[in-house]
Structure 1
């Protein structure tokens, strides 16, 4: 079990990356830097899921777009059985939905592949010591997303109805659950669509999940 000793001499890093050039380059940088060692690399998520628990690691650099299972799926599965391992997503994906999916799956850090080698090394040390390193543009997106969440335009009743919509309830079921008429439910849903600038149930559910409105 990892003891998170900030003065630990060597941090063991594993890499899950399908691009051999990137994988080999990262391993070379890590192994060429005092205080770090990379003994295990994996070219796909399935290999990582199998090998990482057996071989062990303090920190894992995980790509997202991998053949077969995605890196996000890998983090979710590995984190469930190995809570002491920290995961840093190292990827080209920088859209808000992917970022939050990765963080919700259990990733602690999120860096883009343009990140300089020294910053990656610093981030590995930082995440090992309890931090949550992110590339500057990723951090801005996270802050913006949380600001959007804090500025939820819906009333308490509208949020309650939105939650029922996300659960798959129809107008009649929502009306019965809230002891109101179907016309009242329809009126609230119309206001929800207007405030969230959507035009369909599918759109409103996707936006609710993405912006964590429910």
Structure 2
């Protein structure tokens, strides 16, 4: 993960044709993350994972609901939404999961992400009951993620909207050990290149379902 530069994120609640999936998995991206905000079920996660795992690219599950947790992934990403107003989305779900699954958890496969959701119109912003952060808030969350919680990932999530390159640059300057992930609105080579200047890893998702060729060009931008 320390050498990742680009990942594709696939939503189990969206349809993707086999040909497009093959192109995505064989694109040279560093990993495929399976995860979404709504409509995530055991069955659709299982079906998508089974298709992705035909390829050699690492496949990780971003855990958004305990009902969809299953073995067999190369790793598990555990979000903690730092700008949520509700404890449930910061530590509550994780606490419930540990009570239920602690005896089966391989902690070497678990990676915690400190999320900061930046688009107040996004489903995830509303679902996680987020509070819109100021620039000062974002910088403080980044420092919290690294210096207080020692999270390996700080994730700036614009979720469908292309974000503020200057803010990503400033957040990057605050982080030394924690990797900065950026996700949101990347639909072109140029946008991917702009964010990759400062983010350690860019996450590309929605464009896969609109223009798979444009999605593939984002991989080229990160090489």
TM range (shorter): 0.3 to 0.5
Q: Which has the higher strand share?
A: 2
> What TM-score, normalized by structure 2, do the two folds share?
0.37
> What TM-score, normalized by structure 1, do the two folds share?
0.38
Larger Rg: 1
